[in-house]
Structure 1
């Protein structure tokens, strides 16, 4: 299994990832992709953070979601709700 990288997600900004849950697809839009400080030289990949927005009024719990994207395919991504704004809830995924 190849490790996911920031570069793979950077080209997907403002695109929708569909999370399948309870028989329906919940859309999560990738709104930010940023590198994180790199503290070790022998890490398998440079750490990075992704921020997704979901416009549902329901807060989805912190957990791993099976997400589908047209170019990246199926991915399991652990999302943590971190904020709420006028457009919905924001969820962060950290890869280190």
Structure 2
């Protein structure tokens, strides 16, 4: 399913929460940005997603299962890209 998702699939989900279930305790990440990156190999073009956690705990870069009420379970590779007072920012890039 992940190969069928496009930037448009996420653009209306801003500020919604995804739960990373593959860690204990599960972490909640809020989608804060969707950026279209132009042409890519995937249908709809390349894009990136930026999430913010509500935890000081940093997930190492890697593939995690994200659970979302509307999209279901998605395996997404994320990279921690910064830490703010509110939590950690993570990015996923789809090309």
The alignment's C-alpha RMSD in Å is 1.4
What is residue 30 of structure 2 aligned with on the other side?
29
TM-score normalized by the length of structure 2: 0.89
Q: Which runs of 5+ in 2 are unaligned?
A: none
* CA offset digits 1:54-79 (Å, max 9, x no partner): 12111110011101000011100101
The structure with the larger Rg is 1
- Secondary structure at the aligned position of 1:52 is classed as strand
TM-score (norm 1): 0.88
What is the aligned length? Answer: 93
- Find the counterpart in structure 2 of residue 20 from structure 1: 21
Query: Residues of 2 paired with 1:67 and 1:77: CA distance?
Result: 7
Superposition pairs for residues 59-78 of structure 1, below 5 Å? Answer: 59-78=58-77
Name segments (4+ residues, structure 1) moved above 6 Å.
none
